[in-house]
Chains A and B, each alone.
Chain A
Amino acid sequence: MAKKRSGSFTRRDFLKTTGAAAVVAGAGPYFLFPERAQAQQKTLKIAQWSHFVPEYDKWFDNEYTKAWGQKHNTNVIVDHINLTEINARAAAEVSAKKGHDLFMFLSPPAAFEQQTLDMTHVYQEIEKKHGKKIDLAHKSTYNPKTKKYFAFSDSYVPDPGNYYKEWWAEAGFPNGPDTYDDLRTGAKKIKDKRGNPCGIGLSQELDTSMALRALLWSFGGAEQDEHGNVTINSKATIEALKYMKALFQESETSEVFTWDPSSNNRAMLAGKTSYVANAISVTRQAEREHSPISSHIMVCKAPKGPVRRIAAEHVMDCYVVWNFAENKEGAQQFLIDYIDNFKQGFDAGKWYNFPCFPSTVPDIKKTVQNDPAADPPDKYKVLADVLDWATNVGYPGYATAAIDEAFRTWVIPTMFAKVARGDETPENAAKAAEQEYKRIFERWK
């Protein structure tokens, strides 16, 4: 065997030395500075949508999460996802059992219940300070069968009407349509006189789904009852379908079949449509861009139907903490602290998100009466009593996984669209929808 030369450095020596150095470098601080090792910074990863009001994201990313992170010695990472990609991303995270600690959905994620932490504790902690949550939050995040809160809801977004002031005044409705009869009469007059169509969507997308549910409920129809039994095939549903057919044929164009969630915003801001059902993102965008049309677009309550005035929340913020999250405690604490500071978020989002804990914005009814940024300043006053006419998807029951599948496979928009175009009678469409609902409900039993 060759004798090792003095002063030479073999490959084995190199590996030994570097290996030892790596061990010392890695473990050193734990022996030398144990307090520093204990205080090692944690990470909290949050995924949520790109907000329709960009100012909210600026506040959330650059101010609130930074301040919270410093206070809790946590590096908060916020990833924004396009709203149409949220569920696909969630499915990927669940499949990989890896991802964000806190994941925000825009609709009740009941299908993911088995993969999420029970949020009862979070609700309880917050209710000690801020009082009871609204029923809308309860119905959207609670499974009565398993007695589990599969998500936590901090806020909801109202879904009022947006109308072109001068045209509706001309048609005899200076404050916009108050009832569905007003909507039909006024929209027809405007279309006949000016050619501008009404913009209640009939497409396979979010805004359409909400607007048509509002119409259905206002006429007394519903997808299910309080106990989760399918009730879509009813006289009330058929009346709602007849109404929509008349509204479409008298006052709309086929463009409502093509829409995505932002199409009605664009149509309204382009001065094309006379009325859309949407959140206040339409008017906020006009204000942000100092668009001349801003002073022409007004906000009204969701129209009243023959039975009631009611509308779906436009979107429902629902945070979940995955069972496989790496920082479960941090994620839950973040939510508890976030509600303490909800008023800041309410203002940063230009009142887009309304609180699920009303006491966090105590003067909300007074606040919305006067917004200096709006033209006129009392544009948003109709939102003062929004809780009286806003409800959850699945009303009058809970937002279950079956309701979510029906929502995401567009059963309601398909039913309305077929009737509106005359491809199906209201009776047959309601019957077909009933079969589809029963089939879906059967799968989630």
Chain B
Amino acid sequence: MAVTGVPPATVDAQPPRPDESAAVRVPWHRTPENRAILLGIGMFAPAVLFIATLIGVPFVMAFVYAFTDVKVGSITSHYVGLENFRSILQSPSFRKALVNSFIFTITSQVLVIIGATILSTALKDRFRGRGFVRFLILLPWVAPISLGAIGWKWILDSLYSVINWVLVALHFYKPYSAPMWLGEPQLAMASVILVHTWRLLPFSTVIMLAGLTAIPKDIPEAAQVDGAGFWRTLFQITIPMMLPIIMVAVLFGIIFTFTDMTVVYVLTAGGPYDSTQVLPSLAFFTGILAGDLSQGAAISLFLVPIMVAVTYVMLRLAYKSEGA
């Protein structure tokens, strides 16, 4: 009996005994198909483990907490049904935070998409120093968010604001009447939105740049030959072709913004009087700092249906525009 891969001379010299034929059988994990499966599992495992431990477990805990009366120092807890949700709906701070979360997210995303479209269009063509400009634009995304937010806190500080110093030095304002960027409700919300936009802009710009470079050059060139100007090409060719990738950028942006509390926490701590409070920061203040874990969990769970709905809609839109 010949064995694949074994020289015939050897086979002739020492015919294999019945039990040796099993020894040369390829182990199951060495077969090409199983090796591919194992490689796949191995490559997926870290991500699955990461998501399960750092996102899955806390999510399940939050879900459980939201239906109990657990407090930060509790030894036991009891099922209370929807009581936590009923309670937070009565809280003016929660209602304000809910509205603010939408304002914060929608406004910053509109600004991010407009800014990213402009930047990616400007950065797509070659010019001297393009690499350096790209590096500068990426910096806010690369730097830790807390560091950037603390920097902005000092730039907007009531006493040491460099912006106010310039405004006073240029005699636009008297020394004690310069704008309090974080002290007026509207200005504070605008400041928080702009700092968050500054933070997210590089991420969306990179995504959009990737989308732009993927558009075959002959299509806009053909449009130009047909007489289409810059704006017409942008709105009727470039943006429609980039719609799936814009949707991905928006989806990530919404998730990052809706669930972010760093900018608000560092800049305003939700003030003045809750006018910049958002759901994640309120959940942190209530659940961790004030010790009412179950209510903090209920506040944070309010984000989940919103996120699921947004994700569904965005992915559907991306899918449709891709199909079109």
Q: Which A residues contact B (CB, under 8 angstroms)? A: 87-88, 90-91, 94, 111-116, 195-197, 202-205, 253-260, 263, 266-267, 270, 272, 401, 404-405, 407-410, 413-414, 417-418, 421, 423, 432, 435-436, 439, 442-444
Contacts and interface: CB of A to CB of B under 8 A. Distances in A.
A407 B158 CA distance: 24
A408 B285 contact: yes
B255 interface: no
A68 to B, nearest CB: 28
Contacts of B93: 409, 414, 436
A2 to B, nearest CB: 19
A203 B271 contact: yes
A88 B288 contact: yes
A168 to B, nearest CB: 18
6 contacts: A87-B290, A257-B271, A410-B273, A421-B273, A436-B92, A443-B292
B159 A266 contact: yes
A116 B73 CA distance: 9
B253 interface: no
Contacts of A444: 71
Contacts of B274: 204, 410, 414
B291 A91 contact: yes
B174 interface: yes
Contacts, number: 137
A330 B184 CA distance: 50
B286 A409 contact: yes
Contact of A263 (B159, B273, B288): B159
Contact of A195 (B69, B90, B174): B174
Contacts of A266: 159-160
Contacts of A267: 158-159
Contacts of B269: 203-205, 260
Contact of A414 (B176, B177, B183, B273): B273
Most chain B CB inside 10 Å of its own CB: which residue of A113, A257, A436? A257
B75 A115 contact: yes
Nearest to A269: B159
Contacts of B270: 204, 410
Interface string B59-87: 00000000001011111000000000001
Interface string B147-181: 00000000001111000000000000011110011
Contact of B290 (A270, A405, A413): A405
B174 A88 contact: no
A253 B159 CA distance: 12
Contacts of A253: 176-177, 180, 183
Most chain A CB inside 10 Å of its own CB: which residue of B91, B271, B273, B286? B273
B237 to A, nearest CB: 47
A115 B73 contact: yes
Contact of B180 (A195, A257, A270, A442): A257
A91 B72 contact: yes
Contacts of B159: 255, 263, 266-267, 270, 272
B182 interface: yes
B271 A204 contact: yes
Given A409-B286, A439-B91, A112 B273 contact: no
Contacts of A256: 183
Contacts of A410: 270-271, 273-274, 285
Nearest to B284: A88
B257 interface: no
Contacts of B211: none
Contacts of A91: 72, 288, 291
Given A204-B269, A443-B87, A404 B291 contact: yes
A259 B87 contact: no
Contacts of A417: 271-273
B295 interface: yes
B272 A258 contact: yes
